[in-house]
Copies of this chain bind each other. A is one copy, B any other.
Amino acid sequence: MLSERRLEVLRAIVQDYVGTEEPVGSKALTERHRLGVSPATVRNDMALLEEEGYIAQPHTSAGRIPTDKGYRLFVDKLAGVKPLSTPERRAIQNFLDGAVDLDDVVGRTVRLLAQLTRQVAVVQYPSLTRSTVRHVELLSLAPARLMLVLITDTGRVEQRLVDCQTPFAETSLADLRARLNSRVVGRRFTDVPPLVQDLPESFEAEDRATVKAVLATLRETLVEEAEERLMIGGTANLTRFGHDFPLTIRPVLEALEEQVVLLKLLGEASESGVAVKIGHENAYEGLNSTSVVSVGYGSGGEAVAKLGVVGPTRMDYPGTMGAVRAVARYVGQILAES
């Protein structure tokens, strides 16, 4: 077990390193933090911390830098979440309040988060699987071609074409539309399929194929195309990454373009509270030298999607966590209002 002071030393190392980006030595530490002990003592503590794997030296006779394990301990035990200042909160509120539609909310959120944390921001669109149906619309575009439009409680709209073999009478269309809506409006997406399973039976034989096609498309939209979308921003902040960048930055940019990777990244985050993945804790190799701070957000009490930031492992965790949490809260509020 690490003594109180050793933890204090670790905290000091993390803080200094995050600030200066340079390995921190024992002398500098005692000067900048009133630890009440001499450099020699700190050196002993450092040797121990290194032995335990919390810090490392880039090369002999250089200062120490925290390892992933060190950051982990820092985040778990040593650092709180730094609340934002009142002006910051007000700024968030103002910035988000101007949004006119869902795209705009997400767009503003991503920019806000990038600016606040000075890192790369990732915001997932409110997921379809968690949300409920506000309205289903069916239009006939051509005699044997329908369009299915699905509107969610979060304001998201999905549309799909449905090709049918036989023409579908306008009256049948109205009928189907009405029945569909009466059954699914207000339902969660995941609950919908069983609710409409028996619909074809109540239609004339000639229309059944078409009804089935519509239902198939609906299911598809709900499940398969529950494909999550996301928006990223603040990539210019990647330039603050480090000195050696081409190598560091490239895989990160690649990862950011792979929506699948990002979604999995966010998806892994815990359900409640701010989650932090540090360095090698990220499954995706390209992100091994980055940390991901994420949190769920939602219109009601429960999370319908995630948002977060990606930055160097050497980041201001308390501040970032605070910003991410605050933004998530405000976005939730905005969504609930609209």
B interface footprint on A34-70 (CB within 8 Å = 1, 0 otherwise): 0000000000000000000000000000000000000
Residue from B135, B249, B253 within 8 A of A147 (CB atoms): B135
Across-interface contacts of A236 in B (CB, < 8 A): 250-251, 253-254, 257
| Bound Cα distance A257, B160 (Å) | 29
Q: Which of A124-132, A190-198, A238-246, A272-280 makes up part of the contact surface?
A: A238-246
| Bound Cα distance A254, B233 (Å) | 10
Which residue in chain B gives the minimum CB-CB distance to A160?
A: B101
Across-interface contacts of A139 in B (CB, < 8 A): 135, 137, 151
Chain A interface residues toward B at CB < 8 A: 101, 134-135, 137, 139, 141, 147, 149, 151, 157, 159-161, 233-236, 238-239, 245-246, 249-251, 253-254, 256-257
Contact at B239–A249, with CB atoms within 8 Å? yes
| Bound Cα distance A226, B161 (Å) | 23
| Bound Cα distance A107, B147 (Å) | 22
Q: Specify which of A233, A239, A256 lies most central, judged by the most chain B CB atoms within 10 Å of its CB.
A: A239
| Bound Cα distance A134, B160 (Å) | 14
Contact at A234–B257, with CB atoms within 8 Å? yes
Shortest CB-to-CB span from A274 to chain B, Å, is 25
Across-interface contacts of A249 in B (CB, < 8 A): 239
Which residue in chain B gives the minimum CB-CB distance to A232?
A: B257
| Bound Cα distance A16, B254 (Å) | 29
Shortest CB-to-CB span from A182 to chain B, Å, is 14
Given contacts A157-B157, A159-B157, whether A238 and B257 have CB atoms under 8 Å apart is no
Contact at B257–A233, with CB atoms within 8 Å? yes
Across-interface contacts of A250 in B (CB, < 8 A): 236, 239
Across-interface contacts of A141 in B (CB, < 8 A): 134-135, 151
Across-interface contacts of A159 in B (CB, < 8 A): 101, 149, 151, 157
Shortest CB-to-CB span from A75 to chain B, Å, is 28
Across-interface contacts of A251 in B (CB, < 8 A): 236
Shortest CB-to-CB span from A25 to chain B, Å, is 27
| Bound Cα distance A144, B239 (Å) | 50
| Bound Cα distance A239, B249 (Å) | 8
| Bound Cα distance A161, B251 (Å) | 41
Contact at B137–A137, with CB atoms within 8 Å? yes
Which residue in chain B gives the minimum CB-CB distance to A174?
A: B174
